[in-house]
Amino acid sequence: MAGELSPIDKAKFVAAKRAAEFVEDGMRVGLGTGSTAAWLVRCLGEMVREEGLKFRGVPTSTRTAELAREVGIEVVSLDEARWLDLTIDGADEFDAELNLIKGGGGALLQEKIVATASDQLLVIADAAKEVEHLGAFPLPVEVIPFGWPTTQALIEETLVAMDVMGRGATLRMTGDRPFITDEGNHILDLHLGRIGNARQLAMVLNQIPGVVENGLFIDICDIVVIGYGDGRIEMRDINSGTVENDRLDFVETDNLFSDLGD
């Protein structure tokens, strides 16, 4: 129930609820991965059931696809959709220019492909995700399994010349085994502390053999919807330079809040 949610979950919920209003009948919509994106999928599922909203969703991970089908959203692949009207996703960090770090959930490759195949990327986040400089959150880098220790060494060597505070990299694990992405790859988490030039770092990392993609989303996000635990919502549009403020009153509904597993 809404009244039993923590302040952080309330913030995620109100951001997701506001972002869901951008989805219109007939749209092709990218659906992000992670805890905040899961709130969005639940909200959209409720709109499908209660309001008859009809759209096609392109999930960015297998778990998002499973949740979308569970709540009644029509799921199609990016190959079928070809191009999207809108993608809505969460972020691990965002700065004043709406540059992002993403990939905490391990789906950064599909998330970046889907986001760049969209007319707009709308990011939903709680206020704690806003930072002055990216980098406090570990930067995920997806690498192929073959020779990953060599790739890690090359990354750490490259970081010496980059404008970052830290240079450590660790292999993401699930229990005692390496985390495996939907594409069968590994993820190295870079513990940088602070990234001085995110655009440069993103370009350099992708030149390293073995690197598939990195979690820096530069000049991709158009709008961020920020939720607060008291129901306030702030919406920033980087293209128009506008900032809008709103508030969402909580309505307790078993339909939406029951068995939310993410």
Residue 12 counted as an annotated binding residue: no
What are the Cα distances from residue 258, in Å, to 1, 64, 171? 7, 17, 34
| CA trace torsion 116, 120, 126, 131 (10° rounding) | 60
Tell me whether residue 252 is one of the annotated catalytic residues: no
Q: Is 45 annotated as a binding residue?
A: no
Annotated binding-site residue? 92: yes
Q: Give the burial class of 180: count Cβ atoms within 10 A of its Cβ; 0-12 exposed, 13-18 middle, 19 or more buried.
A: middle
129 marked as binding residue: yes
Ligand-binding site membership of 105 (annotated): yes
**104 is annotated as contributing to ligand binding:** yes
Residue 17 annotated in ligand binding: no
What does R_g of the chain's alpha carbons equal in angstroms? 18
Detail the DSSP E strand segments found in the chain. 28-31, 56-59, 74-75, 86-89, 93-94, 100-101, 121-126, 139-143, 168-171, 173-174, 177-178, 186-191, 211-214, 216-217, 223-227, 232-237, 242-247
Give how far Cα 193 sits from Cα of 134, 143, 198, 229, Å: 8, 21, 12, 27
Annotated binding residue 166: no
102 is in an annotated binding site: yes
Q: For residue 103, say whether it is annotated as part of any ligand binding site.
A: yes
**Active-site entry in 111, 132, 142, 156:** 111
Q: Would the annotation count 254 as a binding residue?
A: no
- Which are the catalytic amino acids? 111
Query: Which residues carry a binding-site annotation?
Result: 33-36, 89-92, 102-105, 129
Annotated binding site for substrate: 33-36, 89-92, 102-105, 129
